[in-house]
Amino acid sequence: MSWVVSHLIRNRNIIKSNQSNNSNFDDDDYNNLIILESKIKSLHQHEILSDFDLIILDSVNDNVLHDKLKSVIKDRHTLSNSFSQICKKIGFYLGGYFTDEGFLENMRINYKLNDNQLSELRSYMTGKFRNKLKRKNNK
């Protein structure tokens, strides 16, 4: 799965609302979201992404299981796997920063990460709790 694509789709509404509140066109997430949405539209027009794929993307974005999906997808695990495959496909067609390896390479260069730090970041991106925030331990 492409972590960047997944992050942008899951946070699409937040990114757009932040943009409308402060009108900062230098926001990387907003600019990447525009690129992503344009590519999704293009992939759909070229029939690389199906109508069903778009419904899955909207369901994850809205956090609502649409009626069209309820008859086909019975559990969240199946939805999660389908979403991961769609993100991977979109990331592949976008290339570079939008792929996991491209993102990691960008992080390595920009933040001068060593191999251990990259390994930790990779395990976070592929881990079970990648969409959860760590809580502070108040002991």
What confidence tens digit (pLDDT) does each residue in 24-58 have?
677 899 999 999 999 999 999 999 999 989 988 98
pLDDT digits (tens, 9 = 90+) for 109-136: 999 999 999 999 998 888 766 555 444 5
- Is 7 contained in some domain? yes
The pTM of the full predicted model, rounded to 2 decimals, is: 0.83
First vs last Cα of the chain: how many Å apart?
A: 36
- Is 78 contained in some domain? yes
8: helix, strand or coil: helix
- Is 108 contained in some domain? no
Query: Residue 101 and residue 39: Cα distance in Å, rounded?
Result: 19
Tallying the residues shown for the chain, one arrives at 139
133: helix, strand or coil: coil
pLDDT above 70 covers what percent of the chain? Answer: 83
- Is 114 contained in some domain? no
| Better pLDDT: 64 or 7 | 7
pLDDT at 58: 86
- Is 128 contained in some domain? no
- Is 15 contained in some domain? yes
Query: Residue 92 and residue 36: Cα distance in Å, rounded?
Result: 12
Domain count, the chain: 1
Provide the residue range defining the domain that includes 12: 3-94
- Is 123 contained in some domain? no
Helices (H) and strands (E) in the chain, counts: 8, 0
pLDDT at 63: 63
Task: Measure Cα distances from 4 to 28, 59, 87 in Å.
Answer: 12, 18, 9
- Is 40 contained in some domain? yes
